[in-house]
Structure 1
Amino acid sequence: MKTVSHSYDSYAQARAAVTAIEKAGIPSSDVSIVANRHVTAQYAEDDAASDTAAGAGIGGVVGGGAGLLAGIGLLAIPGLGPVVAAGWLAATAVGAAAGVATGGLMGALIGSGMEDEVAAVHAEAVRRGATLVTARVPDTEVGRVEGLMSVHRPIDSTERAASWREEGWTTFDPNAPAYRPTETEIQRMRREWRDQGMGKQA
């Protein structure tokens, strides 16, 4: 088995990637999603008054459908704090001991076979507002799953890490303050949410 992971700037992109993976026959038990709580809360806010979202918690609003997304909920991951997540990777990260130097998510990614530097970028991406999608797949399925995930425009980890390093970033810091999106980022995310029709599917 291999682990395929991609981070997405928008929750809508990540959700679409999860749906595509599951439709391709990858079991929900082998897929995981971890999203920044503040970002998904902004998506939920737009639909909070709609009939489909009435009375639903954040998990109900940003999840919906069947499979992995039906079980999404609020979790506390060491090094990140509250996130909206579901799946095996999230469970592993939550189970990591608080105070581990790499943080729960980074430690879980390394444990799944990811290189330290790549794991640090994914963990930092989630801290800064991204959504991470991870799938465990047979070696023969890696190319197909990579293709399905790439259709939804994941973050280029190498470019993103380079831009952060220009700002002084070195690696994921589990003690860094929680990231809160700017108003411009919030408006961008809301446009993507509406454009992709995600709010009406919850």
Structure 2
Amino acid sequence: MADTIVRLFDRPADALRAVDRLEAMGIKDKDISLVANNREEWYGDDGLRHDRLQAHNRGIKDDDRDGKDDRLEGAGDGATTGGLIGGGVGLLAGLGMLAVPGLGPVVAAGWLASTAAGAAVGAATGGIVGGIVGALTHEGVPEKDAQVYAESIRRGGSVVVVRNQKDRRAEIEATLSDYNSTDAGQRGDYYRSGGWNGYDASAPDLDAVQIEAERVNAGAYRP
């Protein structure tokens, strides 16, 4: 797993900003992937719905109070500014919607989504999210961690994956942490505290109210 970095985000706006920031840092689109729950319909046929994303607008760092994310100022065209998220260029321009049985609506872009979709072809259940477990383990992610990431999508989260960046691992991990990310160890402890034993493709998907309650409970959890 030395070259694969995976983090989960409870709020889609944080994940999208993290992707924008990675691209501003020079990470190539081909090495970034995003898979996110879309039950709250923050992405539609017309693209990103900023009014809905604003409800999750908790990731802005604006110490100079100019209305822009300090981490992205001067990063160039396409970067996130003013609390809004890019979508016309880069990885986010390739976002697409998928319907996954037992999970609900999902938005995905990047190499992981393509690999997972291929792995899921012919599967009776699980679809792309079940395929993500296989795709992540193929990249060296431990299966128990891959199952946590898949479960986090089912519960309303977003997963960002970066590959082929061994020499920049510490920098990328710090950047993802800036946007309120969580790793499999932390979130897995929370899931298991409630009796969870692994990702179940047949488990029902959550509605928007349940997803928000899940965010609150996960944020309040202390081991």
Q: Which residue of 2 aligns with 1:51?
A: none
Of 115, 125, 132 in structure 2, the residue corresponding to residue 92 of structure 1 is 115
Greater RCO, 1 or 2 (C-alpha within 8 Å, sep 6+): 1
Secondary structure of 1:182's aligned partner: helix
8 Å CA contact retained: 1:126, 1:132: yes
For residues 1-202 of structure 1, the aligned pairs below 5 Å read: 2-39=3-40, 41=41, 43=42, 57=45, 59-61=47-49, 64-76=87-99, 80=103, 82-97=105-120, 98-99=123-124, 103-182=130-209, 185=212
8 Å CA contact retained: 1:77, 1:94: no
Structure 1 stretches lacking a partner, 5+ long: 45-55, 190-202
- TM-score, structure 2 normalization: 0.70
- TM-score, structure 1 normalization: 0.76
**Backbone CA RMSD of aligned residues:** 2.7
Structure 2 stretches lacking a partner, 5+ long: 51-85, 217-223
The one-character-per-residue Cα deviations of 1:151-186 (angstroms, maximum 9, x if unpaired) are 111124323222221221100111111122317828
Percent of residue pairs bearing the same amino acid type: 41
- Structure holding more helix per residue: 1
Q: For this pair of structures, how many residues does the alignment match?
A: 175
